[in-house]
Amino acid sequence: MKGVVFNLLEEFVRRAHGEHAWEALLARAGVDGAYTSLGNYADADLGALVTAASEMLGQPPPTIVRAFGRAALPLLAEKYPNFFRPFPSTRSFLLALNDIIHPEVNKLYRGAETPTFQFDASSPDVLVMGCTSARRLCQFAQGLIEGAAAPYREDVTSDETLCMHRGNARCEFRIALRSAS
């Protein structure tokens, strides 16, 4: 897992729970926390941090991972505004993930393992998005999708209709978007 993901987690934890929360989380997870954005780190570190956060907050790991994704996407929008500028809406941004966004990510972060999405955009109201995540981080994907609506000032609801954690070959989300009221 690329260091930038850990950097985003650190920023999320510090903003949501205060400056000392990150150090407390590292200590409980038993990881050293020296993550540089371009480095590669053990997936087990992320697992340990999520487990520790789950114990500290009394929330299940999928809830933690989804909340992290929801917060991480607006942080990415702050860091990489050019990735968002060409796309006028959340829907058009999501539809560009396979062909533009993650390929650009792979140029910046060599060796990143980004997931592939399958789209059914036949309905103007609901975007159906399948996700095959090597690390089975489907709740992270769902959180990122929800978080993508924030920079576009849209409201989003997403239902997970298939899930790798429930034995399906891939995850699938039904995403409804509208302008924020």
Q: Is 151 helix (H, G, I), strand (E, B) or coil?
A: coil
User: Do 9 and 75 meet the contact criterion of CB atoms below 8 Å apart?
Assistant: no
Q: Which residues bind ligand HEM (CB under 6 A)?
A: 1-2, 4-5, 73, 76, 80, 83, 94, 97, 101-102, 105, 109, 112-115, 133-135, 137, 140-141, 144-145, 148
Q: How far is the CB of 20 from ligand HEM (least distance, A)?
A: 27
* Cα→Cα distances 151→19, 67, 88, Å: 25, 16, 10
Q: Among residues 55 and 79, whose Cβ is nearest to ligand HEM?
A: 79
Residue 174 contacts residue 161 (beta carbons within 8 Å): yes
Which residue number, 56 or 164, has a Cβ lying nearer to ligand HEM? 164
Q: Which is nearer to ligand HEM, 17 or 119 (CB)?
A: 119
Least spacing, CB of residue 5 vs ligand HEM, in Å: 5
Name which of 13, 87, 77 is nearest 46 in CA terms. Answer: 13
Query: What is the rounded CA–CA span in Å between residue 114 and residue 126?
Result: 24
Task: Give the angle 52-53-54 at the CA atoms, nearest 5°.
Answer: 90
In the bound state with ligand HEM, the residue whose beta carbon lies nearer, of 19 and 99, is 99
CB of 169 to ligand HEM, least distance (A): 14
Closest distance of CB 129 from ligand HEM, Å: 8
